[in-house]
């Protein structure tokens, strides 16, 4: 588990963090990958050990950093460069830039499908005008 528990503890130690906790997390994730480990499993085990040792919940700063690392790992974004560990803010920016822009027609279609599903579920009263609008737009977007 390397120093993953240490990284969690660094996140819990102070609200005013230096880059040490992020650096420890990134280095441990890279070591896990290099050793053929499964990052998600290693993180879960480290979190369980942290909770067992400290009897405290996981620090929110840790949960945020872990989320950034896992998303970057999934998208193949490098967490290091020739100067060392890339900062968390820079990685978040790369993640944001890597998102594919949503097609507005897809957004409308998804919205209409959600509304149609709510209408069909009959969990809430729905006006007949809304039903007509949803049916019209659903037909228009599904045949487009």
Same domain, yes or no, for 79 and 109?
Answer: no
Percent residues over pLDDT 70 in the chain? 72
Same domain, yes or no, for 71 and 21?
Answer: yes
CA-to-CA distance for 26 and 83, rounded, in angstroms? 14
- Domain boundaries, position 138: 104-142
Residues whose CB falls within 8 Å of the CB of residue 37, separated by 6 or more in sequence, listed in order: none
Same domain, yes or no, for 58 and 126?
Answer: no
Give the tens place of pLDDT for each residue, 21-64. 888 888 888 888 888 878 888 889 989 999 999 898 888 888 88
Task: Please say if the pLDDT value at position 10 is more than 80.
Answer: no
Same domain, yes or no, for 37 and 76?
Answer: yes
Same domain, yes or no, for 126 and 93?
Answer: no
Same domain, yes or no, for 91 and 122?
Answer: no
CA-to-CA distance for 93 and 85, rounded, in angstroms? 15
Same domain, yes or no, for 123 and 59?
Answer: no
Tally of domains in the chain? 2
User: Minimal CA–CA distance to 81: which of 71, 73, 66, 91?
Assistant: 91
> Sorting pLDDT into bands at 50, 70 and 90, what band is 1?
very low
């Amino acid at each position: 588990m390397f120093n993953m528990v240490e990284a969690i503890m660094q996140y819990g130690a102070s609200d005013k963090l230096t880059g040490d906790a992020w650096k420890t997390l990134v280095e441990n994730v890279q070591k896990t990958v290099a050793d053929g480990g499964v990052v998600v499993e290693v993180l879960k085990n480290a979190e369980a050990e942290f909770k067992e040792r400290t009897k405290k919940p996981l620090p929110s700063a840790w949960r945020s950093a872990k989320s950034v690392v896992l998303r970057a790992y999934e998208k193949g974004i490098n967490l290091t460069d020739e100067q060392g560990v890339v900062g968390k803010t820079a990685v978040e920016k790369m993640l944001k830039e890597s998102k594919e822009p949503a097609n507005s027609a897809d957004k409308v279609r998804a919205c209409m499908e959600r509304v149609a599903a709510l209408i069909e579920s009959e969990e809430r009263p729905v006006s007949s005008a809304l039903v007509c609008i949803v049916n019209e737009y659903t037909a228009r977007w599904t045949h487009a």
